[in-house]
Structure 1
Amino acid sequence: MPQEDTAFAQFYARHVDTVYRVCYIRMKNQADAEDLTQETFLRAMKEPQLWEDDAHGRAWLIVTASNLCKNALRHWFRASRQEVEDWDQAMGCVQAPPDAQESEVLSAVMKLPDQYKTVIYLFYYEGYSSTEIAQILGKKESTVRSLLHRGRKQLSQTLGGEPDAESGRRSS
């Protein structure tokens, strides 16, 4: 295998799960998520400079996948989306949460509006900071913090708990 093919294969292996999850939370079905993951990596094949810089490459993949999902959702044949009930099973590449409470939280996150779901997902599940999310999404950092705050508030209302003032976590 030529060196260029090996570099892309390693890049793909490092990031395919992240891209798939981003597509899946937006598209809400496996076939579309797989198609858009493939399309994202086809575009990445044309950008060899991405393969070397992991942080930039990962951010580029997330933005590209998100944009492809937005475009697909706007298309006329995507007028109705089927809701998924069991997100743990549906996101098979993700390790299932160890308890029912975490599963309930993941389901609640998946039901958030896209603007909140994306920032909550990137912050809590992918580990990006609000500054990094702002750069990835091309938004102001204050906007990202506001979206995180509103998303947490909506999650808290959905899950029936009041957020702690300091941590933003649900009180028991």
Structure 2
Amino acid sequence: MDATTSSSHAYIANLIDKYGDMIYRLSLTYLRNRQDAQDVCQDVYIKLFRHMRSFNDDEHEKAWVIRVTINTCKDAIRSPWKRWFLPVSDDLYSITSNDQFDVVSFVLTLPRKYRLVIHLYYFEGYQGNEIAEILNLNEGTVRTQLKRAKELLKTKMLGGME
């Protein structure tokens, strides 16, 4: 193994250590199926290896990894082999209580566009303007989607108790 191959392997190993859990959680949020999420993770790792880049900072790198993950999820959904209605996985995120499981279960019932912005906002800690940049959307669209997602979650969680 030459020095270039060794540094490439170290680079990919570093990306996987840094972002592996995030890639999996994001894929699972997007696809709602453990097996498909694992397949997407492998595809993302291959894409990261094939298109190694240098970045100005960690935030730019993270945003790029998220964008690659989302695009790979979209590819998986468009695949003719994709099964559309699948059970929700129960190993999502690092759930430590029933309350957390309930919240995540409700999030997974949201339409995909809402699940994605909720995940990026609450689980990855991005602000509206950053989400807009990552998803190539207007910031106003992201704010609207977040607002509607919160309203849907509130309705689902309260179950008509208002």
- Give the TM-score of the pair, scaled to structure 1: 0.82
Counterpart in 2 of 1:150? 148
1:46, 1:54 → 2: CA distance?
19
Contact 2:12-2:45 at 8 Å conserved across structures: no
Shift of 1:52: 7.0
Counterpart of 1:135 in structure 2: which amino acid?
A: E
Counterpart in 1 of 2:112? 114
User: Greater relative contact order: 1 or 2 (C-alpha under 8 angstroms, separation 6 or more)?
Assistant: 2
Shift of 1:71: 2.0
The worse-fitting range, judged by mean Cα deviation, of 59-68 and 136-145 is 59-68
After superposition, what is the alpha-carbon deviation per residue over 1:84-105, rounded to whole angstroms, capped at 9, x for unaligned? 1xx5x322xx32133x322211
1:1-172 equivalent positions in 2, closer than 5 A: 2-50=6-54, 53-84=57-88, 87=89, 89-91=90-92, 94-98=93-97, 100-160=98-158
What are structure 2's unaligned runs of at least 5 residues? none
Distance 1:138 1:7, change over 3 A: same
Contact 1:19-1:37 at 8 Å conserved across structures: yes
2:7, 2:52 → 1: CA distance?
12
1:62, 1:133 → 2: CA distance?
10
TM superposition outliers: structure 1 runs of 4+ over 6 Å: none
1:50, 1:118 → 2: CA distance?
26
1:115, 1:63 → 2: CA distance?
14
2:19, 2:55 → 1: CA distance?
10
Aligned-residue identity in percent: 30
1:78, 1:64 → 2: CA distance?
19
1:108, 1:55 → 2: CA distance?
29
